Amino acid sequence: MDGRGVSDFSQSARQHALYPSNLCLVSQAEVEILRAELARGIVPADLESKLSRLAKGGLRENFIEQNCRTIIALLSAAREGEYKGGDWADYERLLRVLAYVRKDDDAIPDYRPNGFDDDQQELRAAMLVLSPLLQRFKEWRLRHQVPELWLANRGVCIVE
């Protein structure tokens, strides 16, 4: 905190707000299509393929892939009513970021050198602004979902 009582996080968020966002390149129709597919529990084939390719890349590509998967898990848990730590505007922003990453032909087309720079920028911006939400979700997931997944994979029945 600085002398005025403003946290470093708040200062960083304000500074980042000065940078232009490319999320305007995502149409509402693209967001709605992605929302519908995720609501059916389906990660669209093109997005899954892109995330799989990113997972085989370098640090930047892994950053994008892992954070997109975290966002998908958060949106899924929220949709199913399991996680209640965010609000509609937060989820909408995360959905729009996913839709942006899904696009191949965005501000910097993905096939060009440094084509994922803009995707990383949009993820970083969302993560900066929504850091408390994402941290709470990760903590919730470690307490609630991970133990169940681990036990289920070991063939242990969970009785509540």
Rounded mean pLDDT for each run of 10 residues along the chain, 160 residues in total: 42 49 95 96 96 96 97 95 91 97 95 94 95 94 70 55
DSSP state of 20: P
pLDDT at 157: 53
What pLDDT score was predicted for residue 10?
44
pLDDT for 15 equals: 42
Distance CA 41, CA 46 (A): 15
DSSP state of 80: T
- What spatial distance separates the first Cα and last Cα of the chain, rounded to whole Å? 43
Q: Which residues contact 46 (CB under 8 A, 6 or more apart)?
A: 102
Number of neighbouring beta carbons within 10 Å of residue 35:
18
All residues at 6 or more sequence positions from 75 whose CB lies less than 8 Å from its CB, including other chains: 38, 91, 94, 95, 98
The predicted model scores a pTM of 0.79
